[in-house]
A and B are shown apart, each in its own frame.
Chain A
Amino acid sequence: MATTEVLLTTPLHSLHLELGAKMVPFAGYQMPVQYPAGIIQEHLHTRQRAGLFDVSHMGQLLVTGEAAAAGLESLLPIDLDPLPVNQQRYTLFTNDEGGVLDDLMICRRSETQFLLVVNAACKTDDLSYLQNYLSAENTVKMLEDRALLALQGPGSVAVMSELAPSLIALQFMQAAECEIAGVPCFVTRSGYTGEDGFEISLSVDCAETVARALLAFDSVMMIGLGARDSLRLEAGLCLYGHELNEQISPVEAGLSWAIARSRRSGEKKAGGFPGSERILQQITGAETQKRVGLLSQEKAPIRADTELQTVTGLPAGKVTSGAYSPAFERAIAMAYVPAKLAQPGTQLNALVRGKLRALEVVELPFIAHRYQQN
């Protein structure tokens, strides 16, 4: 590879190598793309049992201050007033054009403190953005001394019932502090695979101890970025830089549910976030393009940036993510298509190496979410 870029490593780097990971550059880090079992086995294992993911490359940002909630509400289409301590939400940094700068999780840690988990590739920009736009009475800090692990899959809860039984009471998107293998951890019941699971924030110095304690269970297997991508794609979840970018609005992305009711037109805290005029108009109006799922009859992946056509050969948008789906044993993809072509059942073609490949528009997610929600 003809790059002189110095890649960072996560605190689990030596563990990845010990487990036989293939390392690839990702967002400035050396990350495991797969282990010897391979992407398909890792994917299926996570769906059936439990997968452990090193997501320490992601940014953990702590925003603290009397004016933190008001400041964050000026940047995010969220209502933080009703958000209890240790409750997490999915939200987006929007720009003035109504596009998306990053998508993130935000969790209230106290009346005046919020923990944000942001994409690795965006984290330094997010940090300076917050430092620039939040008033000086707030502090914004990147938690460089924290690692992040995700335990995902139906077997996760049995593992936690042995290691940290207090976590079992959590519902999807709730958080708690606990100890795992003697290490203090901050855990949310969330993840990005569509499965029940936990995300564990902890000191970098103890990350390997906790990872090894989790891997000691027969049901837990280490999972690389390859399967992480096919799992999130089956779950119909957006990946920044693919389904989300500075030109695509949250409404087009099918994320209107992430715009708090109170921030919508005519409500008590309407607007007041970047791009709110365009975004709020789109919620009530008709979008021109929509994010859809596409299912192929064949196995060969139809990858990002592949051009789509209608059956009569007219342009019909572009694939944003494509993968082989171990669940369907066929290729699946997400794409933006003109709104009139977004109806499930619509037949489209993808142009792959000069040949047309048939695809059908299907409902998202491809695989139903199995979050813990009573």
Chain B
Amino acid sequence: MSERKYTDQHEWLEADGDLITVGITDFAQSELGDIVFIELPEVGAALSAGDEVIVIESVKAAGEVGSPLNGVVEAVNELLGDAPETVNEDPVGAGWLIKVRTDAAPDLSGFMDEAAYNSFTEDC
């Protein structure tokens, strides 16, 4: 596993070769509040970076999560259908959202590391 990276849309990503696991950050789940519904893409769906493919509904707000990379959905977290609150409880663990197989060897250098993301959220 690579070092966890972060986007300015409050997603985290972890690469295992060309397989990228995507979730939302603890900051994002805390801002959303109690999550009651998550809509995930279908396994096999082709994604382009920026496609808003995931919908997260909390009691307060609806949030859309964009794909951070080009690729194909290899797996979605089936647990979230019945237990969307898992994302509140463990956003960077059991509450992962999707795994994306990238087109080419992924270059994650454009994303923030943890220190950069932490200072980014301080300005939010």
Query: A-side interface residues toward B, CB under 8 Å?
Result: 22, 33-34, 38-40, 226, 230, 298-301, 303, 323-324, 353
9 smallest CB-CB distances across A and B, nearest first, come from A300-B37, A300-B57, A299-B36, A39-B59, A324-B36, A40-B34, A38-B34, A299-B37, A324-B59
How many Å lie between the Cα of A284 and that of B45 in the bound state?
A: 57
How many Å lie between the Cα of A230 and that of B34 in the bound state?
A: 13
The answer to whether the Cβ of B55 comes within 8 Å of any Cβ in the partner chain is: yes
Inter-chain contacts of A323 with B (CB < 8 A): 59
B interface, size bucket? 10 to 19
Inter-chain contacts of A324 with B (CB < 8 A): 34, 36, 57, 59
The answer to whether the Cβ of B116 comes within 8 Å of any Cβ in the partner chain is: no
The answer to whether the Cβ of B50 comes within 8 Å of any Cβ in the partner chain is: no
The answer to whether the Cβ of B33 comes within 8 Å of any Cβ in the partner chain is: yes
Residue contact B37 to A298, C-beta cutoff 8 Å: yes
Q: Report the minimal beta-carbon distance from A229 to chain B, rounded to whole angstroms.
A: 9
Q: Report the minimal beta-carbon distance from B51 to chain A, rounded to whole angstroms.
A: 14
Q: Report the minimal beta-carbon distance from B40 to chain A, rounded to whole angstroms.
A: 13
- Which of B39, B59, B84, B88 touches A301 (beta carbons < 8 Å)? B59
How many Å lie between the Cα of A40 and that of B36 in the bound state?
A: 10
How many Å lie between the Cα of A63 and that of B39 in the bound state?
A: 52
Inter-chain contacts of B36 with A (CB < 8 A): 299-301, 324
What 0/1 readout, one digit per residue, does chain B (25-66) give for beta carbons within 8 Å of chain A? 000000001101101000000000000000101011010000
Known A-B contacts A226-B60, A300-B57; the reply to A39 vs B34 at CB < 8 A is: yes
- Which of A22, A230, A298 touches B59 (beta carbons < 8 Å)? A230
Q: Report the minimal beta-carbon distance from A252 to chain B, rounded to whole angstroms.
A: 28
Residue contact A39 to B33, C-beta cutoff 8 Å: yes
Q: Report the minimal beta-carbon distance from A327 to chain B, rounded to whole angstroms.
A: 13
Known A-B contacts A301-B59, A303-B62; the reply to A34 vs B37 at CB < 8 A is: no
How many Å lie between the Cα of A298 and that of B37 in the bound state?
A: 8
How many Å lie between the Cα of A299 and that of B33 in the bound state?
A: 15
Residue contact A40 to B37, C-beta cutoff 8 Å: no
Nearest A residue (CB) for B82: A299
Inter-chain contacts of A226 with B (CB < 8 A): 33, 59-60
